[in-house]
Amino acid sequence: MPPADASNALDVGVSTHTIRRVPRLERSGAPAFILEGRDRFVVGRNEQCDLVVPDASVSRAHARIEREGPVWTITDVGSSNGTTVQGEPVFGSHRLAHGDEIMLGRVRLRFVDDDQPRTETQKVHQPKPRLTPTELAVLVELCRPLYASGSAFKVPAEVSQIAATRVTGEGAVRMTLGTLYDKFGIVDGPSRRVRLAEEAVQRGVISARLYDADQQG
């Protein structure tokens, strides 16, 4: 079997017998990316990346794929056009499941790990908490930049942005966010807004359909 970084570009051929039962990223009509030989891979358009995707919609350094124990995760590293898994935006570290569809800009990949049953790699999400209309409205505004059509991929909205959209004070927004942190189990620490938005998306409280009307308008 060739070294892991000897066939890092999509236009390099790899035998299907070679990749069988090896964790990999598959792309229709192109050889697979082999995920072995190391625990961390940077994916992007730059030829210096571990896994090279020569497509204009992919940033020079787009995402990072890492092995964490028995599972693999993907993290967007500030790309221009964003990363999604199963149609949902990635911000923070997202745990990959066998068969997951990954979009890097316009490039579609499929994560395959034949030796791991889906039940082991798929995160079990907590149930949706009960939210008041105000709490849901603040959460929707928090996550709005993640689904903004035609814009670069962004982190969740700032408190000041939410307050301006809601036409309310920043103190009121912080108070509502505090309640949301409690309801979603977001403990004190860095990037609490990011962790709250990620949890809301993963639990299905926030999804693209909530913003469809805005995009159509």
What pLDDT was estimated at residue 213? 58
Q: How is residue 60 written in tokens?
A: 């020079």
Identify the pLDDT of residue 188: 86
Per-residue pLDDT, 63: 93
Q: Kind and range of the H or E element at 163?
A: helix 159-166
pLDDT number for residue 209: 79
Burial of 82 (0-12, 13-18, 19+ CB in 10 A): buried
Q: Please, are residues 26 and 32 in contact by the beta-carbon 8 Å criterion?
A: yes
Residue 60: per-residue pLDDT: 94
Sign of the Cα torsion 160, 199, 133, 140 reads positive
- 40 forms beta bridges with 66
Can you tell me the distance from the alpha carbon of 72 to that of 13, in angstroms, rounded to the nearest whole number? 24
Residue 125's pLDDT is what?
56
Specify the pLDDT at position 7.
45
d(CA 203, CA 129): 9
pLDDT of residue 5: 46
> Tokens in use for 172?
């009121």
Do the beta carbons of residue 123 and residue 178 sit within 8 Å?
Answer: no
Would you give the end-to-end CA distance of the chain in angstroms?
53
**In Å, how far are 72, 73, 172, 181 from 169, measured between CA atoms?**
41, 37, 5, 19
Q: What is the pLDDT along the chain (217 residues), one digit of tens a residue?
A: 444 444 454 443 333 434 456 889 998 888 888 998 889 999 999 999 999 999 999 999 999 999 888 889 998 888 888 899 988 888 777 889 889 999 999 999 999 987 765 544 444 457 889 999 999 999 999 998 877 755 544 678 999 999 999 999 999 999 999 999 999 999 888 788 988 988 888 788 888 778 765 555 5
pTM to 2 decimals?
Answer: 0.58
Query: What pLDDT is attached to residue 122?
Result: 47
CA pair distance 79, 8, nearest whole angstrom: 20
